[in-house]
Amino acid sequence: EYSRSSLHLISQADLKQYYFLIRKDYKRNMAAHYCLELVDSIMPKEQRNLKIYKLILNYLESLEFVKDIDKVVHAFQIKILLLSGFSPHLDSCVKCNRKIHSKARFSLKDGGLVCSSCPTMEHRFTLISKGAVSTILHVEQSSWENSMKLGLTAHVRKELKYLLNHFLVYHLEKKIKTTRFLHSSD
């Protein structure tokens, strides 16, 4: 049997929300494009997911009004990783499951924290502060609204940007192109 096309035809659509402030501001616009590119990369094609849809709506609403665009982006990254099953393992050592009390090492390859007792083939670890770990866990466990109330120190913000972007690239096995435009004004 012959299929004419794998493309779906949309004959009509109604605009529900224009997001004028996102369209008007370059960084907000790039953050919106980043969200769509990330969802397109991480989610299976043509699979319905109401939680992801609601996350995108929350993200766009926050992007329109919240001043701290980076916080909105980081919260979205953390929540999309959680909802897609790619969330990093942060509550104990990913290898031996022991609680980590000293400085934490993050392994991209292993997908989480590794204690100093566990050997690994990875030569380069990312040191991660308890503040960054707590922030990620808080965002994972909180509603979107409570995540937007969270304050981020400059140090935690820098760690999240590095860790989340590298984690996504490693596990998606490709770079999100709009990342470079999103961070070009930093």
| 126-128 and 104-107 strand pairing | antiparallel
What is the tens place of the pLDDT at every residue in 85-144?
999 999 999 999 999 887 778 999 899 999 888 877 766 788 899 999 999 999 999 999
Domains and CATH numbers, the chain: 20-182 (1.20.1440.120)
In angstroms, the Cα distances linking 54 to 17, 31, 48, 50, 170 are 14, 17, 12, 6, 26
Q: What percent of the chain has pLDDT over 70?
A: 92
Q: Judge whether residue 3 has pLDDT over 60.
A: no
Six-digit token pair at 94?
């990913």
pTM confidence score: 0.89
Q: How far apart are CA 114 and CA 97, in angstroms?
A: 9
